[in-house]
A and B are shown apart, each in its own frame.
Chain A
């Protein structure tokens, strides 16, 4: 129990003192998570929308597959990305292993199914509501997807936040493809794992509190943005 009290103090101290190493780790974490979530949204949202609107054989199976991929084990994703990017692997020439880019790639693989699956549900529900109107206006398929995505933007924020939640908390994949290299690929979660393995439990827990604080700030900011969007839509 002592650890909890000590950890709270330590977290406060770390945040107030503006510890340079911590700042570096926080900035890297945010960059990697932002990069992965942006890429995953760029891929997952159109994919989810197409799955929601299009009708083709095997669609239901594909929906089940995408939903299942939300449960991808991070360590397995890390291992697969490692084997691809390793110098012994097919993409070794890119020299991306143990770089932040490799971490973004692994995180994108993990986050894309989450964004796609949640988008699919949101758009499918909205399509059911709007379909008569869209049909009567004879809107083409592509324009239909665009319209639905745009109108669902406030709900889709939640899909993005779910993706962010996954990537910001994940350690299994990034520690394999990033290597947890000091000043290069060390992020919040891998630093927490390292301090735990050193037996510095209070420091590890303090870093956990810092991570949670960051998540709250990001979610608060995005939540504010979402509210503004909803207000605009009704103005």
Chain B
């Protein structure tokens, strides 16, 4: 018994030492859509092969990613909530914000289409119909980029859905994939980014009900965390990653990522 414990303790100690070994790495605080769609798994090996810099991704909601970065627990921020990103830079936490790429949001729904919105290209009218018919709608409700976009659309529709929370409006308080799993399970409409949806493995009999409205535009931005404010930031390595992402090579790589023959992210960096 004591021998077994000693072995375990030694193993733990050896292991803790190994954790300090690799140093040429950066931590990127990012959003679940870039990870769950497979984009980062596709992009990062290309960047690492070129530069030798390892990229460690923490994929959480945009709200949490921004908070983590403001705590100094990331070198680069890659999210999709422009207003919050600009605030992050204005408060001195970020050096500069760059447009990186875009795609769009869609509303997915059950084949029964209880609100009669299928085929609609007017997202505001569709939300109004959903509210009028009290058709179930599952919301992230987690302060993520997608949630912020959803709340903006409700506002444009002149509806406060949270008044119906617990009724037809269901706040899951969880990530995109969890909300899709839950929403599909209860026959609810869900607003999701297209990338997560296309790559999602548990679609059931669901399909896209609303798409193609300019208001469903989904812009991603990338920001180097400010070393002047947060001393631990690996500014050089982080800058190299940002520079590569907005370079022609990085942008071409983003455009080259496809799931089932479909391009999921459209590069639109303006460069310097």
Q: Which residues of A contact B (CB under 8 A)?
A: 31, 34-35, 37-39, 41-42, 86-89, 92, 95-101, 104, 153, 156-157, 179-182, 184, 194, 196-201, 203, 225, 229
Contact B178 A229 (CB under 8 A): no
Contact B8 A198 (CB under 8 A): no
Task: Digitize B203-240: 1 where CB-to-A-CB distance is under 8 Å, 0 elsewhere.
Answer: 10000000000000000000000000010100000000
Q: Say how far A232's CB is from chain B's closest CB, in angstroms.
A: 11
Contact A198 B36 (CB under 8 A): yes
Of the candidates A41, A87, A179, A194, the one whose C-beta lies within 8 Å of that of B72 is A87
4 closest Cβ pairs, A-B complex: A197-B177, A87-B72, A199-B202, A35-B12
Q: Say how far A42's CB is from chain B's closest CB, in angstroms.
A: 7
CB-nearest residue of chain A relative to B10? A38
25 contacts between A and B (CB under 8 A): A31-B11, A31-B15, A35-B8, A37-B8, A39-B12, A42-B5, A86-B71, A86-B72, A87-B230, A87-B232, A88-B71, A97-B73, A104-B12, A157-B1, A181-B56, A181-B58, A196-B181, A197-B32, A197-B177, A197-B181, A198-B199, A199-B200, A200-B202, A201-B201, A225-B4
CA distance A139 to B178 in the complex (A): 59
CA distance A34 to B14 in the complex (A): 12
CA distance A77 to B62 in the complex (A): 22
Q: Which of A87, A95, A201, A203 has the most CB of B within 10 A?
A: A87
CA distance A92 to B73 in the complex (A): 9
At the interface, is chain B mostly helix, strand, loop or mixed? helix
CB-nearest residue of chain A relative to B197? A199
Which B residues, 162 to 201, have Cβ-Cβ distances below 8 Å to chain A? 175-178, 180-181, 199-201
Contact A98 B27 (CB under 8 A): yes
Contact B32 A34 (CB under 8 A): no
Contact B12 A95 (CB under 8 A): no
CB-nearest residue of chain A relative to B17? A101
CA distance A35 to B203 in the complex (A): 39
CA distance A200 to B38 in the complex (A): 13
Q: Which residues of B contact A (CB under 8 A)?
A: 1, 4-5, 8-9, 11-12, 15-16, 19, 27, 32, 35-36, 41, 56-59, 68, 70-73, 175-178, 180-181, 199-203, 230, 232
Residues of B within 8 A of A31 (CB): 11-12, 15
At the interface, is chain A mostly helix, strand, loop or mixed? helix
Of the candidates B36, B71, B181, B200, the one whose C-beta lies within 8 Å of that of A87 is B71
CB-nearest residue of chain B relative to A97? B73
Q: Say how far B77's CB is from chain A's closest CB, in angstroms.
A: 14
Contact B203 A99 (CB under 8 A): no
CB-nearest residue of chain B relative to A181? B56
Given A87-B232, A179-B58, is A198 in contact with B12 using a C-beta cutoff of 8 Å?
no
Contact B19 A38 (CB under 8 A): no
For the A-B complex with A197-B176, A198-B177 known, give 19 more contacts whose Cβ atoms are closer than 8 Å: A38-B5, A38-B9, A39-B9, A39-B12, A86-B72, A87-B72, A87-B230, A88-B72, A98-B73, A104-B12, A180-B59, A184-B56, A197-B36, A197-B175, A198-B201, A199-B177, A199-B200, A200-B202, A201-B201
Contact A35 B15 (CB under 8 A): yes
Residues of B within 8 A of A37 (CB): 8
